[in-house]
A and B are shown apart, each in its own frame.
Chain A
Amino acid sequence: SQQGEEDPQALSIQEGENATMNCSYKTSINNLQWYRQNSGRGLVHLILIRSNEREKHSGRLRVTLDTSKKSSSLLITASRAADTASYFCATDAFYNQGGKLIFGQGTELSVKP
């Protein structure tokens, strides 16, 4: 089964609103990464947060990490129609040598203009 579980599975908001997606994982990690997938396309790397970091910002993105709860959240502020996509968290597990990411099930975000 997948390491990460995300909620909500689907989220629909209006342009300008904030969108928050959550991810939980099971094992100790080196880092946690968030990716975006537009329909029919590949994944685009958004942001990486290391296990010793608690919060990270990149533009309109804010990621938090709580290793005690094994959870992360991705906040997109002032959302735009172009943010409509699926968002996946992925963990680089502590036990592996950097050879793979384990993905969550994804959150499908729809931003209505």
Chain B
Amino acid sequence: GEEVAQTPKHLVRGEGQKAKLYCAPIKGHSYVFWYQQVLKNEFKFLISFQNENVFDETGMPKERFSAKCLPNSPCSLEIQATKLEDSAVYFCASSHRSLHLGGAFFGQGTRLTVV
């Protein structure tokens, strides 16, 4: 498709439950990125992929967060044992080329609320 599709739009989880977010990048884009936005301000980088390979995971809290981009499947971001502080909007983005060369296309985000 011509836009980055994220599902679900909203997700509510009790503390300690698992949350799984999905992202379908734009067809033909090799790079996928996940960002976390808390309180409408700061965008925190989590992880990026080049095709199905992890490209940069320096932003991932390793203990509870994991992500995958498998061929012929939407990419996913999973949070095990959610905490209140995980409440945020999670954005997925994709780009055709490295960010050295162009900008990224962002999805509409998944709003995760942990109660």
Chain A positions near chain B (C-beta within 8 angstroms): 2, 30-31, 33, 35, 41-45, 48, 86, 88, 90, 92, 96-103, 105-106
Contacts and interface: CB of A to CB of B under 8 A. Distances in A.
A44 B106 contact: yes
A97 B99 CA distance: 8
B33 to A, nearest CB: 7
Interface of chain B: mostly helix, strand, loop or mixed: loop
**Among the interface residues A86, A99, A102, A103, which one has the most CB atoms of the partner chain B within 10 A?**
A99
A48 B67 CA distance: 28
27 contacts: A2-B42, A31-B99, A31-B100, A33-B103, A35-B103, A35-B106, A42-B4, A42-B93, A42-B106, A43-B43, A43-B106, A45-B104, A45-B105, A86-B40, A88-B43, A92-B99, A92-B100, A96-B56, A97-B55, A98-B31, A98-B101, A99-B99, A100-B48, A100-B59, A100-B99, A101-B104, A103-B43
B41 interface: yes
B25 interface: no
Interface of B: 4, 31, 33, 35, 40-43, 45, 48, 50, 55-56, 58-59, 91, 93, 98-109
Nearest to A31: B100
B99 A43 contact: no
A14 to B, nearest CB: 24
A90 B42 CA distance: 11
B36 to A, nearest CB: 11
